[in-house]
Amino acid sequence: MTVANLFKHWTYRIFAPGVVLRETYEAFKELLVHDSRCHELMAEFEILYYEGKREDFAAVRKRYDRFSHEVEGMVSCLERMAPGAWVDLREYYRKFDFYVRFLLAPPSLNITPPYVLSLEDPALTPELGGNKAWNLGLLSRELGAPVPDGFVITTAAFNYLLEYNNLRSRIDELLAEIDIESSMSLARISARLQALVLEAEIPPDIREAVLSAYAGLEQRAGQEILVAVRSSAVAEDSGHSFAGQYTSVLGVGREKILDGLRQVLASKYSPQSLFYRITLGLGDEETPMGVLVLTMVDARASGVMYTRDPAASAADRLVIHAIFGLGEPLVSGEALPDIFAVSRKTLEVVAFHPGRHQVMRRLGQGELEDVPIPAEDQGESVLSEDEVRNLGRWGVRIEEYFASARDVEWAVGPDREIFLVQSRPLAVEESGGSGEQEESLPPITVKPLLSGGERASGGVACGEVYRVGAQHTLGDIPEGAILVTENTAPSLVRILSRLGGVVADKGSTAGHFATVCREFGVPLLVGTGEASRLLAHGMTVTLDADNRVVYPGRISLLLANRKRAGRPSREDLPWFKKLRAILDFITPLKLVDPASPDFAPRSCRSLHDIIRFVHEKAVQTMFSLGDSLTGSAGKCFRLQTDLPLDIYLIDVGDGLKPGRLQGDSVTLDQITSQPFLALWEGISHPGIDWHSREHFDWKTYDDVALAGGVAAQGSADLATYAVISRDYLNMNMRFGYHFTQVDALCGPEDRTNYCMLRFAGGGGEFTGRALRIEFLRRVLQELGFEVTVRADLLDGRLGEMDCDTLSRRLDMLGRLLGATKLMDMVLHDEHDVDVAVQAFFQGHYNFSSMESS
């Protein structure tokens, strides 16, 4: 605050104390609004973390902008209330604000050339070309593997395209709107995002670099060629596969290469890729799109090779899935492939399961088409023994080079030459997959509804069968359902979080959807052939993917003894790691004792501490103001009461009887405020035990014990303060580490009467606080309040009723507040909540006896 403003402030204090009181009170009321919004937003942050609700980090940054604005608003209001009192407070706010913004800041984006690199170029890195291109470059450059000729359009080109078309801010605005749990929201925002990219102008220098690189491919081939344009985003084909989430455009000629580029870039914002990325907790800027351009292989056969069995049932084998023609039907879950189990030592086929081959996808006249396979060829093996052995040899070499199990896509050309077109880490399940019951379990006597198929992702799940059709859409699928489907399209990823498990007629362990199910630990049984016929919509079933069976009803024995294999822990996902780091600077509350000499800005360790400090000092400033002003304007009075509470009152309009006020205290019979008297009637109810804990030293008692407690008399720093008039009450009640705010108008106009309640905080564990909030919610709703709950923050509102009825509600509210002062210490589970609710409405308000039970 400037010297001029300080002079003005102190001039008013001396010559116009009433002006100071009004301005200070206005600042205080504004501060309380900011404080309320701060707690709402902190609660929303806790919901994101504790309940695992996901949103794009563009939305998190926008949410934090609002929160920071409210905290800064509190600091500004306190500066107006007490100019020059805590000059270092703003600097501490700025420090924590900087830390959070640093953690939320997207990575710096490279928009400088090169925009195109050869696969052989040593400058190709995962950050510049994406993992898919980088892995292929290593295979070609380091191992001399048979990789098709090609080039990479770098992530710098993608970033530059967005910059050139001024799209970054528009994309962030749309990303901040997405609700990934809503299929409609995903589809709507995805369509708008993809349209932005598809309609974007490709910068001239990118256009020239791409066409020049394409001309180089044709020159080396000595003829016109077609190419495959494939995604190669940062983070794709890494520890997170993004399998099948982006688009590949096959059979592209020179005239359509730029359109193919746009389609692949736009697929970064497809519904399924948005869901996958946001669920993981990766920011949009962390996953820029590189694009891999490979000379098209007119494949006679294609497939996927796992250098280890992903079911972990046979570590000495690699597994090859093969179909005729191009591999797209295999990875999209449409085809049933030949499956070769190959010895890693001898490269001999040790097991073979034939697939079903009726059509194959080929490239004809520049277009993809499905060509019928002649009946006499349908029973042939897709691969010869030499081709299997050759693929196996490459699989062993690739695994040895990367020192980890690999998922390798391959193709065989018309002349039987093998090409490797993709290599990524393979997630191998740690348990299950033997096809045998655990020895400790008795046999299951229930007859299965379905047996067979292929275990693509292990685990056990129980739920209602959901079959997509004309009457049942993906958008309506309930939580925990067992999806029964014909194919396992990668687009199903967008509903993965709602699925208990999946059973498919077709598909294989080599499909992209199977890869993602293994990542997220969702049981998947594929290739059953008849699931859609045998499993009726709405029936409850238990899926045992490990043993390839589906039972009717709930098989508790299986569910109690099996785990969903491979389901990632919260701590392993980027979402929770990032959010935890951010919350560490937002929500912890270390500044707990207002009477301590360390209760100062220098002791703040989070923005919550800043909020707590500002609120405490604002209350002290507001209600000590009367004592420092000349005259009687704004004088603060202490209520004389036998309860172990310190209550301070400030009258702003006929809340106290005139002519009878002496000294600094008032008695209850001197108060005329109707809402205060009604609330106090409940707080002082004889059934509430206020005295059994007077012997505790609340100031030095440990955090858990103090949670929800009350301060002993004489502890002004932890006191309760109320602004009153004849028909108005605004009370901030200090109950240990939690606070309650009651705001009520109780006058002659029914329409304008209301009561608003806010209950927040506590120093105990999150579980105890949540149970107390649940008790409050149920009681308040029974009393007619509209209640909303976010984490440990409860808001209630009651309105539009006559004064007598509202007074009775305030009486009951007072009893409730007194009864819950220590409840988070005695509630242990939902049963305790049920008992407490019933007891409250039977007139019992002392719950300390539950503590020992």
For residues 469 and 157, the model is more confident at 157
- From CA 611, how far away is CA 598, in angstroms rounded? 16
Choice between 98 and 711, residue whose per-residue pLDDT is larger: 98
Q: How would residue 313 be classed by pLDDT, with cut points 50, 70 and 90?
A: low
Range of lowest pLDDT (134-148, 207-221, 385-399, 463-477): 463-477
* Residues 542 and 687 grouped into a single domain: no
CA gap 166, 160 in Å, rounded: 10
Q: Give the CATH number, domain containing residue 121.
A: 3.30.1490.20
Cβ atoms 48, 59 nearer than 8 A: no
Residue 556 backbone dihedrals phi, psi, to 5 degrees: -60, -35
Residues 6+ apart with CB under 8 A from 360: 323, 324, 325, 326, 370, 371, 373
Per-residue model confidence as pLDDT tens digits over 514-536:
878 887 788 999 988 888 889 99
pLDDT band at 245 (very low <50, low <70, confident <90, very high): confident
389 shares its domain with 525: no
**Least confident residue range of 177-181, 440-444, 775-779:** 440-444
273 and 140 part of one domain: yes
CATH of the domain at 468: 3.50.30.10
For residue 33, what are the domain limits?
27-105+588-617
Tokens of 553: 């009803």
Determine, yes or no, domain membership for 284: yes
Domain's final residue, options 295, 326, 354: 295
Q: Indicate the pLDDT class of residue 508, thresholds 50, 70 and 90.
A: confident
Claim to verify: residue 366 and residue 404 sit in the same structural domain:
yes
Select the more confidently predicted residue: 600 or 768: 600
Together in a domain, 175 and 66: no
Q: How confident is the model at residue 394 (pLDDT cuts 50, 70, 90)?
A: very high
Compute the C-alpha angle 267/271/275, nearest 5°.
110
Question: Same domain for 821 and 682?
Answer: yes
Structural domain count of the chain: 5
* Distance from the Cα of residue 556 to its chain's centroid: 30
In degrees rounded to 5, what are phi and psi of residue 693? -115, 15
- 567-587, pLDDT tens digit by residue? 556 667 888 899 999 999 999
Q: Which residue has the higher pLDDT, 121 or 828?
A: 121
Q: Quote the CA–CA distance of 282 and 278 in Å, as a whole number.
A: 6
The identity of residue 675, as a single letter, is P
What dihedral angle (degrees, nearest 10) is formed by the CA atoms of 508, 510, 515, 518? 60
Q: Find out whether 807 and 686 touch, Cβ atoms under 8 Å.
A: no
So what's the pLDDT on residue 709? 36
- The sheet carrying 338-343 orders its strands as 349-353, 338-343, 317-324, 301-306, 406-412, 418-425
Tell me the mean pLDDT in the region 55-82. Answer: 95
Q: Do 470 and 562 have their domain in common?
A: yes
**Strand-strand pairing, 227-233 and 349-353:** unpaired
49 assigned to some structural domain: yes
**Average of per-residue pLDDT values in the chain:** 84
Length of the chain: 853
> Does pLDDT of 396 surpass 90?
yes
Are 748 and 803 in contact by the 8 Å Cβ rule? The answer is yes
Kindly state whether residues 245 and 334 are assigned to the same domain. no
Residues 6+ apart with CB under 8 A from 278: 54, 55, 56, 178, 180
Provide the 3-class DSSP secondary structure of residue 402: helix
DSSP 74-103: HHHHHHHHSTTS-TTHHHHHHHHHHHHHHH
Where does the pLDDT of residue 437 fall: very low under 50, low under 70, confident under 90, or very high at 90 and above?
very low
Domain presence at residue 445: no
764/657 same-domain check: yes
Nearest to 541 by CA among 560, 528, 518, 558: 558
- Across 688-705, average pLDDT: 48
Listed ranges 21-35, 68-82, 759-773; the one with the highest mean pLDDT: 68-82
pLDDT digits (tens, 9 = 90+) for 220-243: 999 999 999 999 988 876 666 666
Distance CA 305, CA 776 (A): 57
Task: Residue 643: count other Cβ atoms within 10 Å of its Cβ.
Answer: 16
Average pLDDT over residues 471-481: 78
Residue 592 near residue 739, CB atoms below 8 Å: no
* CB-based burial label for 336 (10 Å; 0-12, 13-18, 19+): buried
For the segment 401-419, what is each residue's pLDDT rounded down to a tens digit?
999 999 999 999 988 899 9
For residue 403, being part of any structural domain is answered with: yes
Residue 186's Cβ-side half-sphere holds a number of Cα atoms within 13 Å equal to: 23
Last residue of a domain, one of 265, 295, 325: 295
Rounded Cα gap, residues 565 and 642, in angstroms: 61
Q: For residues 145 and 139, is the Cβ–Cβ distance under 8 A?
A: yes
CB 482 within 8 A of CB 543: yes
How much is the pLDDT for 572?
Answer: 74
Q: Is the dihedral of CA 756, 757, 760, 766 positive or negative?
A: negative
When mean pLDDT is compared across 32-46, 427-441, 505-519, the lowest value belongs to 427-441
Angstrom distance (rounded) from CA 250 to CA 225 = 12
In this structure, the answer to whether residues 715 and 814 fall within a common structural domain is yes
Check if the beta carbon of residue 731 is closer than 8 Å to that of residue 673.
no
* Average pLDDT for 817-825: 76
| Residue 415, Cβ density class (10 Å: 0-12 exposed, 13-18 middle, ≥19 buried) | exposed
Question: How much is the pLDDT for 631?
Answer: 39
Selected residue with higher pLDDT from 386 and 364: 386
Res 703: pLDDT: 36
The beta strand positions in 468-622, using DSSP E, are 481-485, 499-504, 524-526, 540-544, 549-552
Which amino acid would we find at residue 664? D
Structural domain includes residue 433? no
* Beta strands 227-233; 116-118: pairing state: unpaired
Q: pLDDT tens, 336-350? A: 889 999 999 999 999
The pLDDT score that the predictor gives to residue 13 is 47
Can you tell me the mean pLDDT for 554-578? 72
Does the residue 630 lie in any domain? no
411 with 145: CB under 8 angstroms?
no
Tell me, what's the pLDDT at 30? 86
- The Cα 703–Cα 562 span in angstroms is 39
Q: Does residue 582 fall inside a structural domain?
A: no
* pLDDT tens, position by position, 617-640: 887 776 555 444 433 445 678 899
Least confident of 13-22, 110-119, 546-555: 13-22
Alpha carbon distance 235, 599 (integer Å): 45
What is the CATH number for 352? 3.30.470.20
Same domain? 406 vs 464: no
Rounded Cα–Cα distance for residues 495 and 236 (Å): 20
Per-residue pLDDT at 652 exceeds 80: no
Q: Which helix (H) or strand (E) holds 811?
A: helix 803-819
Q: Is the pLDDT of residue 814 over 80?
A: yes
Three-class DSSP labels, 331-386? HCCCCECEEEEEECCCCCEEEEECCECCEEEEEECCEEEEEECCHHHCCCCCCCHH
Element (H, E) at 44: helix 17-50
CA dist., res. 680 & res. 733, Å (int): 12
Q: Is the peptide bond before 114 cis (omega within 30 degrees of 0)?
A: yes
Per-residue model confidence as pLDDT tens digits over 184-231: 898 999 999 999 999 999 999 999 999 999 999 999 999 999 999 999
- Which candidate, 386, 396, 397, places its Cα nearest to that of 317? 396
* Domain annotation covers residue 623: no
φ, ψ at 36 (rounded to 5°):
-60, -45
pLDDT at 393: 95
CB 51 within 8 A of CB 766: no
Residue 348 and residue 264 in one domain:
no
Answer whether 63's CB lies under 8 Å from 45's CB: yes
Question: Which range, 134-148, 456-470, 475-489, 590-604, has the best average confidence (pLDDT)?
Answer: 134-148
pLDDT, position 150? 95
| Rounded average pLDDT over 484-504 | 84
